[in-house]
Structure 1
Amino acid sequence: GWARLADDPKALARLPTVAPGATEELDLHLSLETRLAEATAGETLTHGDLYPFNVLLTPDRVVVVDWPHAWIGPAHADLVMLLSSVALSGIDPEPFAVRHPLLTGVEPEAVDVLISAQAGFLLAIACSVDSTADPRLVRMMTELGRSSLRWLSTRTRSSGRSKSKG
């Protein structure tokens, strides 16, 4: 995540190119990351990698595949991850988030923590890969990380939550 990125001078030097503006927000993300254990507490089996490419649609059902990142956490964790993918398509995920029953009663800052953590995880990998990495995978991680940052920025700006609150 963000702490890993901050501790790796080479990866940190790549961050402005990979995700413009993220370096200026690094303190915010490091602050949010300190709340990760609290924000990921829960008792629900979560997929942990719920992006559109892991969802198969058949004529009569939906099948979720690729479960090696499964973990126990909050019921809304996979929803937050999937909504970040929606942002990648240029759709504002916030209207879906505010109306979704899985996010009813969830502290907005806890959602911010998950969005930031997802971005940090993806961008830390994208900033630290070597030349042998699949460029398509790196591009996908980069774009998903950037879309998560855009969503987080929109959420914090529209809610009035300041950068310093974390």
Structure 2
Amino acid sequence: MKFKHIEESQITMTQLMLPSHSNFRGNIHGGFILNLMDQIAFACASKHSEHYSVTASVNKVDFLNTIAVGELVTLKASINYTGRTSMVVGLRVESEDIHTGVIKHCNSSYFTMVAKDKDYNSVEVPGLILDTEDSIRRFARSIKRQKQARKRSENFNSTDFKIEEYLEEVREHNVQITL
């Protein structure tokens, strides 16, 4: 089995935010940033796996700070986890005001990517060499996130869902139930 250092696949991309990327308030569209995030996740995963890689899922994207026209946006991608055919790519997005030099953390996310061969079959990916405490923490965090996602899916499976367990909690929110 082949293993790679995390640094071998890391990617950084910087792009100037233009008016064509913005909404009417001069802030960059979240969808444009998501598109850039998907591109860099693809590049990082493909570099690591040495195969075309596709997005299987995206784990939570919180837009923490707005990005204005004229700012530089830097996206950083790194492989945090490797499974048999999948990889979790950790992404960080920062913007920089080129006049002041102030850098803002805009969002972070985790993209699960799957390596594919030329016939679009999933292929095995190299494992990771974990050589820092931070790399072990990120790998362990990915395992934990996967377990939590499986548990959420199991709890809310339509055949096993028990409405009586959730009805009171749901009523505490901005809803009108008409069953």
Report the TM range for the smaller structure's normalisation: under 0.3
Q: Which has the higher strand share?
A: 2
Query: If the length of structure 2 is used for normalisation, what is the TM-score?
Result: 0.24
Q: Which has the higher helix share?
A: 1
Q: Which has the higher contact order (CA 8 A, sep 6+)?
A: 1
Query: If the length of structure 1 is used for normalisation, what is the TM-score?
Result: 0.26
